[in-house]
Amino acid sequence: KNLEAVTLSKTIEIIEVEAFKGCESLTTFEIPESVEYIGGAVFASSGMTRFTLPERFTEVPYGMFENCQNLTEVILHDGVVSIGGSAFSSCMNLKNVDLPASLEVIQNDAFAFSGLQGKEVEIDGTKMVAFQIPASVQRIEYNVFAECYDLKAIQMLSPVPCSADPWGFPKHTLIFVPKGCYQNYKNAWGYECNWADKNVYVRNNTTWEETVMTLNDDGIAYLRQVLCLPEDAVPSTLKQTTNVQA
Q: What is the pLDDT of residue 98?
A: 98
CA 72 to chain centre: 14
Q: What is the pLDDT of residue 151?
A: 93
Q: What is the pLDDT of residue 213?
A: 52
Q: What is the pLDDT of residues 123-165, one digit of tens each?
A: 878 888 999 999 999 999 999 999 999 998 898 999 999 998 8
* % of the chain beyond a pLDDT of 90: 56
Q: Residue 48 phi/psi, 5° resolution?
A: -55, 135
Q: What is the pLDDT of residues 7-55, one digit of tens each?
A: 888 899 999 999 999 999 999 998 999 999 999 999 999 999 999 999 9
Q: Side chain identity at 169, as an amino acid letter?
A: F
Q: What is the mean pLDDT of residues 193-198?
A: 40
User: Exposed, middle or buried: residue 70 (CB in 10 Å: 0-12, 13-18, 19+)?
Assistant: middle
- How far apart CA 204 and CA 195 sit, in angstroms, is 14
Q: What is the pLDDT of residues 100-111, one digit of tens each?
A: 999 999 999 999
Task: For residue 201, name the pLDDT band (cuts at 50, 70, 90).
Answer: very low
- How far apart CA 22 and CA 35 sit, in angstroms, is 21
- How far apart CA 205 and CA 169 sit, in angstroms, is 27
Most confident of 64-68, 164-168, 200-204: 64-68
